[in-house]
Structure formats: C-alpha cells, structure tokens
C-alpha cells in the first residue's frame, strides 16, 4: 500500500482502469465459452449458436457510437462503471432455470452484455490518452499495448475458466459466481475511479459522433475487415470443429482457446518491440499495411494444408498459433494508431467511432462463422478470412505515412 501511495495520480488511475478492464474481460471471455459450449451441447446448430451472439455484436456497434458521445459529455468514469453494472445484470439474467432460457431471453442477455463490454472497452482505451501528455508517444504506445495485451491474455484465461466452470458448476452456477464477483469490482470502481475523467470541455453535439478525419475513417474500415477475418473462423467454427471433428471435451476446447488468446495477448504487450519502437521509431500507416499483408497469407496456407492432409491437428493448431502472433501485432498497432490520432478533447468520440467499426467487424465475422461453417466447413471459413484480410490490406495502403492525425 505504501508503494501504491507513492505512485503518481496518473499511474494510479491507469491501474484502476486496467483492473476494471481485466475483471470485466475475464467474465466476458468465460461467458462466451459457456454460451457456445452449453448451447452446442443442447443440440443447437452452429448457425443457431452464432445467432445467440447477434444482439451482442449489433448492440456493440450502437454502443461504441453512442458511448463515445456519452463519455465525452458525462465522463469516462460513468461509462466504465455503467458497463460493469450492466454486465452484472446480463449474468444474472442467465441464472434463471433452464426451462426459461429461451433463445429470445439469451439473446437479450447477450445484448446487455454487448452494451456493457463496449462501454467498458471504449472507456478504458480512451482514458489512456488523457493520462499522458502529447509529447510522450512512446510511453503511450507501451501503455496501450500493455492494456490491450493483458486484457486479451485474461480473455483467454476466461475461455479456459468458462470450460472449467461449465464442467464443475454447471451453466447456472458459473454465471451466478461471476455476477457476484463482478459486483464487488463495481463497488470498488465507484470508490477509486476519478470523477469527470474524459469529459470534454464543451458539450459535444450528437452529430459529432461520426468522425470527420479521413485517416481515422480508413483505420476504422481496416479494423472492421481485420476483426471480421479473425472471427469468421474463431467464434463459432473453431470451437465446434474441435468438439465435433477432433472429439475434444469442453475443458480441452476451452483450454486451447484460452492458450491461443493468452499467447495473443502476451504478444500484443510486446508489439512495440516488433514494430520499430526499440529503434526509436513509431509505426505509421505503412507499417499497418505491411503487417496486415503478412497476416493475409496465413489462413490461406492453413486452408491449403487442411485440403491437402485432411483434418490434421498439427496443421490447424500450429497454423492458428502463428496467425495469433501476427494478428496480435496488427491489433496492438491499430490500437496505438487510433489513440495517438484521436482528438484529445473529447477523445472518446474518435475512439468510440473506431471501436464501432471493430464491433461491426465482429458482427460480420460471427454471422459468417456460423453460416459458412454450417454450409461449407472450416476450410471455407479460412478462405473467407483470407479474402477479408486482402480487403483490409488494400484499405491500409491509403493510411498516412506518418502518425494518424486529424
């Protein structure tokens, strides 16, 4: 406690924001794995399981757009704490008896969870911009990479936790435990998080939600296709494939997904080393285009390997581990570019617009994951991923060859 009290106010706030984000992400990852595995066990088809997440992603799109405006108008502390409380509500909705877990009810709970997740993420990413001066871009990159990477590592742990809790406590017991623990985090956050963090100096108008910056618009479009390319195989197709084709148990599926995302998160924390920061350079639009071009080759190679050798665990899992590492650098690089390029006053407006595109990409990828896998299988999902990444590469070529600015 003595060491914590000696830290600067900015670092202490960073720790509070990061702790909130970590706790939320752990429950979010566990809940996703719980829903996918539990409802697949109940006999839902891959497309029907994907449909359960439809409102989660749709409301994520809306929330990022509106949440950026709300954060600028009322403060990021409020939007972050509201996100935590809404997640508690979403978890409690799923504690009803199994007979009451209708498709509509689960989709409504997922909608609430989607709103909560994107309020929390937008608030966390936006607040970092305000905790460092503009002349410390290197430190900003490191802080963004650390927050993003550690969050994803915990999301991976959440996948594993979801599989374990489903096996040990059952669906209802698992979500009830997570609701209680997250409610305690919400109480701490209300006490520790600085008031009025991120509130704009003026009153931003509703029409200002849409970005007027060409660079941010291009970066947002590239982000959309980047995340659609990941989720087209990751969200539904991969866990169902591992369970049905390889015959893995729930804990094995959750364990692999957890290891993938944990490794992905750890690589994200080191992204500044891979993109030139070590040599004193900061990445720009050209670096973003190069990295997504390299990424676009990987799902094609995995698809070719599976077509050649059939259901081969080494080809699939080894290839996806490499994909995860390169994807992690892409994601962390994008996260830095948007925070660096966002306007400081009312930062959540630009960040919210950008993460709206992120959520739209996840929505597209989720729907494609269920539909393509059900109709054509995992290999087709990987070819779709390749095509989406090629589009992201073409968009990234238009990014400025300097830090993203307004």
Greater confidence (173 vs 154) lies with: 173
Q: Tens of pLDDT along 97-124?
A: 877 777 788 888 888 888 888 788 777 7
What would the DSSP string read from start to end of 344-392? STTHHHHHHHHHHHHHHHHHHHHHHHHHHHHHH-HHHHHHHHHHHHHHH
Percent of the chain's residues with pLDDT above 70: 80
> For residues 376 and 229, what is the distance between their CA atoms, to the nearest angstrom?
16
Scanning 131-169, the segments in alpha helix (DSSP H) are 137-168
Percent of the chain at pLDDT exceeding 90: 20
Report the pLDDT value the prediction gives residue 136, as an integer from 0 to 100.
62
Q: Apex CA 208: angle with CA 205 and CA 212, to 5°?
A: 160
* pLDDT tens, residue by residue, 218-253: 888 999 999 999 999 888 889 888 888 888 887 788
Which of these ranges, 204-208, 301-305, 316-320, 359-363, has the smallest mean pLDDT?
204-208
Which residue did the predictor score with more confidence, 139 or 334? 334
Confidence of residue 302 (pLDDT cuts 50, 70, 90): very high
CA angle 350, 221, 76 (to 5 degrees): 25
d(CA 198, CA 123) in angstroms, rounded, equals 8
- pLDDT at residue 380, as a whole number: 95
**Taking the domains of the chain in order of start, what are their residue ranges?**
2-396
Token pair of 162, please? 């979801």
Widest distance between CA atoms in the chain: 61
- The mean of the pLDDT values for the chain is 79
Mean pLDDT of 147-153: 74
CB 140 within 8 A of CB 107: no
Task: Please compute the mean of the pLDDT values over residues 120-143 and round it to a whole number.
Answer: 67
Q: With contact defined as beta carbons under 8 Å apart, do 63 and 119 qualify?
A: yes
pLDDT bracket for residue 290 (50, 70, 90): very high
Who wins on pLDDT, 46 or 320?
320
pLDDT digits (tens, 9 = 90+) for 21-64: 788 888 888 888 888 878 877 777 776 777 777 777 788 777 77
Query: What is the model's pLDDT at position 405?
Result: 44
Q: Please say if the pLDDT value at position 404 is more than 50.
A: no
CATH number of 2-396: 1.20.1250.20
- Tens of pLDDT, residue by residue over 180-191, are 999 998 888 887
């Amino acid at each position: 406690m003595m060491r914590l009290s000696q830290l600067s106010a900015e670092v202490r706030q960073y720790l509070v924001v990061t702790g909130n984000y970590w706790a939320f992400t752990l429950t979010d990852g566990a809940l996703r794995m719980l829903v996918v595995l539990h409802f697949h066990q109940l006999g839902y088809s891959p497309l029907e399981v994907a449909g359960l997440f439809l409102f989660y992603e749709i409301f994520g799109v809306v929330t990022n757009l509106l949440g950026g405006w709300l954060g600028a108008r009322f403060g990021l502390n409020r939007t972050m704490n509201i996100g935590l409380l809404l997640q508690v509500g979403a978890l409690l909705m799923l504690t009803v008896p199994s007979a009451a877990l209708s498709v509509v009810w689960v989709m409504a709970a997922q909608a609430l969870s989607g709103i909560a997740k994107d309020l929390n993420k937008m608030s966390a990413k936006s607040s970092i911009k305000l905790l460092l001066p503009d002349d410390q871009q290197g430190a900003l990159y490191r802080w963004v990479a650390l927050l993003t990477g550690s969050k994803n590592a915990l999301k991976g742990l959440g996948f594993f936790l979801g599989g374990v809790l489903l096996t040990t406590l059952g669906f209802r017991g698992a979500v009830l435990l997570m609701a209680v623990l997250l409610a305690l985090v919400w109480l701490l956050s209300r006490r520790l998080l600085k008031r009025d963090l991120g509130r704009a100096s003026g009153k931003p108008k509703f029409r200002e939600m849409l970005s007027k910056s060409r660079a941010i618009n291009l970066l947002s479009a590239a982000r959309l296709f980047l995340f659609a390319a990941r989720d087209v195989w990751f969200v539904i197709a991969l866990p169902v494939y591992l369970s049905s084709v390889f015959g893995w148990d729930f804990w094995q599926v959750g364990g692999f997904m957890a290891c993938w995302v944990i490794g992905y998160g750890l690589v994200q924390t080191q992204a500044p080393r891979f993109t030139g920061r070590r040599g004193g350079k900061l990445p720009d639009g050209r670096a973003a285009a190069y990295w997504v071009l390299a990424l676009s080759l990987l799902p094609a190679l995995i698809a070719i390997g599976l077509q050649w050798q059939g259901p081969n665990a080494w080809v699939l899992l080894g290839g996806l581990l490499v994909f995860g590492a390169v994807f992690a650098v892409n994601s962390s690089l994008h996260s830095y570019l948007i925070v660096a390029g966002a306007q400081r006053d009312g930062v959540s407006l630009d960040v919210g617009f950008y993460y709206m595109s992120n959520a739209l990409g996840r929505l597209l990828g989720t729907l494609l994951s269920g539909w393509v896998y059900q109709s054509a299988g995992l290999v087709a999902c990987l070819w779709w991923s390749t095509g989406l990444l090629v589009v992201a590469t073409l968009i990234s070529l238009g990014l400025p060859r300097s830090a993203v600015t307004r």
